[in-house]
Structure formats: C-alpha cells, structure tokens
C-alpha cells in the first residue's frame, strides 16, 4: 500500500474506531489522523496497521489498539503545555501521540532493544520533544518530575506509589490496574495537594507491568 492508501485507512480509523466511540477532541483526532502507525508495527503486520485491535511488536509485547491510545491520551486532558511521563514505550506509537499533544514527553521502557528501536523512529519522525529512557518505569522517571500527566501502558497490581509522588498538583495519571489473567480496568488518578481523587473506567487487556512495583 502507498502513503495515500495509508492516509485513507487512518481517516477511516479515526472516524469508525475513535470518533464514533465518543472521543471528540479535535486536536486529538487530528493527531491520530496524522501519525503513521504503519511505521510502528512490523513489516509482517502492515496489512493490519490501522485495524481495530492491538498488534504484536516482539518480546511478547504489543502496540495498543488505536482507540485505547486515543482514550488514554484523552484521559490526561492535554492542552499542549504539559510535561508528560509514559511508562512502557513499546513501539513508541503512544509516545508519539503524547509528543504531538504535549510540550515534553519522557517515556521509559524496560526492554533495551524496544527502547532503542522506538527512539530511532521517533527521531526519524522529528519528534524531538520525546525522550526515551531504558529503565524500570514502575519507579517513574524522577529526574524530570513532577509531571502534569502520567500514562502507564502495562497493567499494574495497584497504582505504583512513585508515580503518584511524581505527579504535579492538579496532574492526571491514567493506567490499567489488575492481573493479566483476571480483570483489568483503566483508572484515572488526579492529584489535589496531598490527596488523590480516583475513578475506575473501561475494562481493558494490557500486558503486565514488570519491575519493582509491577507483577513479580
């Protein structure tokens, strides 16, 4: 398929998978329509690059479903001035969406080869406000804290305390909580001084968060 074909698939993806399910933020829809998802999936998955589901990216990991990428980005309420942390870089696709929606993004990946591949692609796409780090992201990334938004792309047993601590006052954290074999739901946490409001939403299916505050 050529670039025009991919652009057409992207337009359909945004209309049928994202806008139709209730995401209306024009800036976010434009970003989802602009991002070349086909460059983030392997050659063997090109025919399904814009399909309505997750895809394997190697090392037993997946690139999330386009709708979930949009939904979790939407949960952070980004206006464009924010500094954001992502845990679980994977392919770099979610980080790219955050990079186009916020001022600065730090994304942490525990598998070095995934971090390296994502970092290269993000540079090629000119996303120089996205910084990829190889580390245990269940500990956050203290060097650039506090963050206005934090997004976790792997499911945790419970919300990791370091992530709450690295949230700015008024900042928002979006993450799946629950086990891989059992029930997982997306949660939003909002910092109010020393307190946190939280609510649980959609049931989801993410790979496990590893590391100190992940699954053993």
Residues that bind ligand SAH (CB under 6 A): 61-64, 87-88, 90-91, 93-94, 108-111, 114, 136-138, 153-154, 207, 209-211, 214
Mark 154-181 as b/e (b = at least 16 C-beta within 10 Å). bbbeebbebbbebbeeebbbbbbbbeee
- Give the nearer residue to ligand SAH in terms of CB position, either 7 or 139: 139
The CB-of-94 to ligand SAH minimum distance in angstroms stands at 3
Could you give the CA distance from residue 74 to residue 174 in angstroms, rounded to a whole number? 10
The CB-of-194 to ligand SAH minimum distance in angstroms stands at 26
φ and ψ of 5, to 5 deg: -65, -45
Instruction: Mark whether 138 is an active-site residue.
Output: no
Sequence-distant (6+) residues with CB within 8 A of 32 are: 10, 13, 14, 18, 66, 69, 70, 97
The CB-of-212 to ligand SAH minimum distance in angstroms stands at 8
The CB-of-126 to ligand SAH minimum distance in angstroms stands at 18
How far are the Cα atoms of 7, 67, 164 from residue 74, in angstroms, in the given order? 22, 10, 19
Contact by Cβ (8 Å): 103, 83? yes
- Give the nearer residue to ligand SAH in terms of CB position, either 170 or 203: 203
- Give the nearer residue to ligand SAH in terms of CB position, either 84 or 108: 108
Could you give the CA distance from residue 120 to residue 95 in angstroms, rounded to a whole number? 13
| Set 64, 91, 113, 138: catalytic member | 64
* Number of Cα atoms under 13 Å in the Cβ half of residue 62: 16
The CB-of-166 to ligand SAH minimum distance in angstroms stands at 14
- Give the nearer residue to ligand SAH in terms of CB position, either 136 or 148: 136
- Give the nearer residue to ligand SAH in terms of CB position, either 124 or 195: 124
Kindly list the catalytic residues.
64
């Amino acid at each position: 398929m050529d670039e025009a074909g991919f652009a057409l698939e992207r337009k359909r993806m945004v209309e049928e998978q994202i806008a139709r399910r209730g995401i209306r933020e024009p800036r976010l829809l434009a970003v989802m329509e602009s991002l070349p998802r086909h460059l983030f999936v392997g050659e063997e998955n090109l025919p399904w690059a814009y399909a309505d589901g997750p895809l394997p990216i190697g090392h037993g990991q997946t690139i999330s479903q386009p709708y979930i990428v949009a939904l979790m980005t939407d949960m952070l309420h980004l206006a464009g001035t924010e500094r954001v942390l992502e845990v679980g870089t994977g392919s770099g696709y979610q980080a790219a969406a955050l990079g186009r929606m916020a001022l600065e993004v730090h994304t942490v990946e525990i598998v070095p080869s995934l971090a390296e591949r994502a970092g290269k692609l993000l540079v090629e796409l000119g996303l120089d406000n996205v910084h990829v780090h190889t580390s245990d992201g269940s500990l956050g990334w203290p060097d650039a804290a506090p963050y206005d938004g934090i997004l976790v792309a792997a499911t945790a047993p419970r919300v990791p305390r370091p992530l709450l601590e690295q949230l700015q006052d008024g900042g928002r954290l979006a993450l799946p909580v629950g086990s891989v074999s059992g029930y997982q739901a997306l949660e939003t946490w909002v910092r109010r001084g020393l307190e946190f409001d939280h609510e649980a939403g959609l049931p989801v299916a993410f790979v496990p968060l590893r590391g100190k505050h992940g699954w053993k």
